[in-house]
Amino acid sequence: MNAKPPINTRPRVAVHKFASCDGCQLAFLNGGEALLTLAGLVDIVHFAEAGVVNPEAEADIAFVEGSISAAKDIQRIQDIRARSRYVITIGACATAGGLQALRNISDSGGWLGAVYAEPEYLDSLDTSTPIASHIKVDMELWGCPVNGRQVLGAVRSLLSGVAPIDEQDKLCLECKRHGNVCTLVAGGAACLGPVTRTGCGALCPSFGRDCYGCYGPAENTNTEALGRRLEGLGLVPEAVAQRFLFINSGAPAFRAAGLKWKGGTHD
C-alpha cells in the first residue's frame, strides 16, 4: 500500500464484522496487555464484540473481518469505505471469501437459490466474496486466523507513518529457518508450503504435518508444478483439487489451480 501522511494524535480505529467465525477479532481480544496499550494509543470507535458500538463512526483505520455473503452487506461495506481513511481486511474471509467461498464453485450451484424450508426469511447471496471485490482495500492481512503480531504490527506501522510490510514470501522459507524436516520432500505429505504465504510461524510443519494453505497464496506461486508433485505423491486429481479449494478457495491463484484439477482439464 502507499503510505499516506502519518495519522494524527489519537487516531480512530474501528473493527467491523461480516460473515466470519469471529476468530480474527481475537487477534485483538486475546492481546491482553497489548489490547490495553492499544486502547491507550487510539480511540476505538466501533468494535461491537469489545462493547463499543457505533457502526456509523468515521475512522482512520477500519479493520474488516468477514466476507460479503448478504445483499445488505454490500451497502454496509461501501458506507464503511466512505467513512474510513484506511481499510484493512483481516483474515481469509475478508481477503479471499473464506471457507464459505466454497459455495461459489459448488457443483450443486445455487444451493442458496434452491428451495429452502422458508426461503423468504433469508438474505443470503449465492456467493461469498472478499471485501476487495466491492471496495478499494488499502491492505490485506492474510491468515485463517490472523494473529496479534500481524494486526498490532499494522497499527504500529501506520501510527509511525510507514506502510506495513506485506509478507508475501513462501512458507518454505520460514519453515527452513525453523529447521523443520520437510514434510513434502522427506515425509511425502501433500504440503502446500511451496505456494502458501508466510506469517503463521510454519506451525503445521513444526508439528510434523503438511501445510494446508490457511494463509493463502504467496507471491508468484507455481501451483502448476506443485499440483503435479502432489499427483506424483499419489493424489488423484480430485484430491489435488481439494488441496487448493479449501480455506482460501476464493484466492485467484488457488481457485484457478483447484478448478483446473477438478475439471480434469489438466494435461
Partner 1 sequence: MTDRRDAHIHVPVLARVEGEGALELDLRDGRIDTLRLRIYEPPRLFEKFLEGRDFREVPDMVARICGICPVAYQMSAVQALESVFGVDPGPWVRRMRRVMYCGEWVQSHALHIHLLAAPDFLGFDSAVAMAAKYPDEVRRGMQLQALGNRLIALLGGRSVHPIGTRVGGFHHAPAVSAVEALLPDLREGIDQAEALVRWCAGLPLPDDDQEFVSVALRHDSEYPMNNGRLVSDDGLDIPIAEFAQHFREHQVPHSTALHATLNGQPYLVGPLARLNLNADRLPQSTGALLTDLPVRFPSHNMFHSALARAVEIHAALVEALALLQDYRPDVPGEEVTPRAGTGYGCTEAPRGILWHHYDVDDAGHIAQATIVPPTSQNQGRIEEDLRLSLEAFGLAHPDDELRKRGEMVIRNYDPCISCSTHFLRLQVRRT
Cβ contacts of residue 44 below 8 Å, gap of 6+? 13, 14, 15, 38, 50, 52
Contact range with partner 1 by CB under 8 A, out of 30-38, 161-169, 191-199, 218-226:
30-38
What phi and psi, each to the nearest 5 degrees, are found at residue 182? -70, 120
Site membership for partner 1, residue 98 (CB under 8 A): yes
Site membership for partner 1, residue 39 (CB under 8 A): yes
Draw the binding track, 52-71, toward partner 1 (x: CB under 8 A; -: no contact): xx-x-------------xx-
Comparison of 141 and 204: residue with beta carbon closer to partner 1: 204
What phi and psi, each to the nearest 5 degrees, are found at residue 201? 95, 20
Binding partner 1 by CB under 8 A: which of 2, 9, 10, 36? Answer: 36
Cβ contacts of residue 51 below 8 Å, gap of 6+? none
The counts of H helices and E strands in the chain are 10, 5
Site membership for partner 1, residue 94 (CB under 8 A): no
Draw the binding track, 143-162, toward partner 1 (x: CB under 8 A; -: no contact): -xx-x---------------
Contact range with partner 1 by CB under 8 A, out of 82-90, 195-203, 216-224, 253-261:
195-203
Q: In what order do the strands lie in the sheet with 12-17?
A: 43-47, 12-17, 59-65, 84-90, 139-141
Cell numbers linked to 117: 424450508
Site membership for partner 1, residue 25 (CB under 8 A): yes
Read off the DSSP letter of residue 94.
Answer: H
Q: What angle do CA 160, 48, 136 make, to 5 degrees?
A: 55
State how far the Cα of 51 lies from the Cα of 202, in Å rounded to an integer. Answer: 34
User: How near is the Cβ of 148 to partner 1 at its closest, in Å?
Assistant: 10
Site membership for partner 1, residue 82 (CB under 8 A): no
Site membership for partner 1, residue 180 (CB under 8 A): no
Site membership for partner 1, residue 89 (CB under 8 A): no
User: How near is the Cβ of 4 to partner 1 at its closest, in Å?
Assistant: 27
- Helix, strand and coil percent figures for the chain, each rounded to 5: 40, 15, 45
User: How near is the Cβ of 18 to partner 1 at its closest, in Å?
Assistant: 8
Draw the binding track, 100-119, toward partner 1 (x: CB under 8 A; -: no contact): x-xx--x-x--xx-xxxxx-
Classified as helix, coil or strand, 196 is strand
Comparison of 70 and 259: residue with beta carbon closer to partner 1: 70
Comparison of 111 and 173: residue with beta carbon closer to partner 1: 111
Beta strands (DSSP E) in the chain are 12-17, 43-47, 59-65, 84-90, 139-141
Q: Name the site residues for partner 1 (rule: CB under 8 A).
A: 17, 19-26, 29-30, 32-33, 35-36, 39, 44, 48-53, 55, 69-70, 73, 98-100, 102-103, 106, 108, 111-112, 114-118, 121-125, 128, 144-145, 147, 200-201, 203-204, 206-209, 212, 214, 239, 242, 246-247
